[in-house]
Amino acid sequence: MPLTSRERVQAVLNHEIPDRVPIILGASNATGISVPTYRKIKQSLGVRSEEKYLYDWPELGAAALDEVLIQRLHGWISQHKNASLL
């Protein structure tokens, strides 16, 4: 039986081997998704939601992931400012 996203992260934090590597999206510009790419993902999944940026400066280019999309990706949300942990 596959692990949930949350169980996968907890396994790694406990130095255990998860069923697959957890992916972190949106915690910073380094792990974030650019707004044009985020728009394409939302469009392909049929998700309609307000566009928000990870930081107050849109020119930095990282989209703030919304809960609807993360649920569609079967992710787990960890709120640290606007950070999302999958």
| Domain spans in the chain, listed from the N-terminal domain onward | 5-85
Give the C-alpha separation, 85 to 70, whole Å.
Answer: 9
**CA distance between the termini of the chain:** 18
Q: Tell me the pLDDT of the chain averaged across its residues.
A: 78
Residue 44 to residues 9, 37, 38: CA-CA distances in angstroms? 27, 11, 10
Using the predicted structure, report yes or no on whether residue 47 has a pLDDT greater than 70. yes
Q: Tell me the per-residue pLDDT of 57-79, one tens digit each, with 9 for 90 and over.
A: 666 678 888 888 888 877 766 54
Report which secondary-structure segment, H or E, holds 11.
helix 5-13
pLDDT of res. 4: 86
3-14 residues labelled b (16+ CB within 10 A) or e (exposed): eebeebbeeeee
Where is pLDDT greater, at 38 or 86? 38
Helix (H) or strand (E) holding 5: helix 5-13
